[in-house]
Amino acid sequence: QVQLVESGGGLVQPGGSLRLSCATSQSIFDIYLMGWYRQAPDKQRELVATISKGGTTSYADSVKGRFTIFRNNAWDTIYLQMNSLKPEDTAVYYCNANYSCWGQGIQVTVSS
């Protein structure tokens, strides 16, 4: 089972940017689909963005135009570039592989 380790979270002011990273324990070419999810307090976990093995990306409507998912194949790492952050983006963000493997989660807080 692939291991996933997230990094890059923290506190940022509204309108700011953060980049999350997710390092995998196996070749990213062996993973069909990777994605980022988030869970805010008292809310269900929701899909934020996905990237397929072939490089196709998809986004939740709430983050389109602000977030970008991309990957570095040489480093077996995917990223989530988050721009124009809003307080409602505050959540624990989770990396996911093939819908079944999860990272430990990382806190993102958007607040002034």
Tens digit of pLDDT for each residue in 67-96?
999 999 888 999 999 999 999 999 999 999
pLDDT value of residue 31: 87
Q: Residue 28: which of 66, 70, 80, 64 has the closest Cα?
A: 70
Residues 50 and 38: beta-carbon distance below 8 Å: no
pLDDT value of residue 88: 97
Is residue 29 over pLDDT 90? no
Helix (H, G, I), strand (E, B) or coil at 28: helix
Residues 6 and 104: beta-carbon distance below 8 Å: yes
* Separation CA 108–CA 38 (nearest Å): 9
Question: Tokens 């269900």 appear where?
Answer: 44
pLDDT value of residue 26: 87
Task: List strand residue ranges (DSSP E) for the chain, in order.
Answer: 4-7, 10-12, 18-24, 33-39, 46-52, 57-59, 67-72, 77-82, 91-97, 101-102, 106-110
pLDDT value of residue 85: 98
Encoding tokens for residue 45? 């976990």
Is residue 28 over pLDDT 90? no
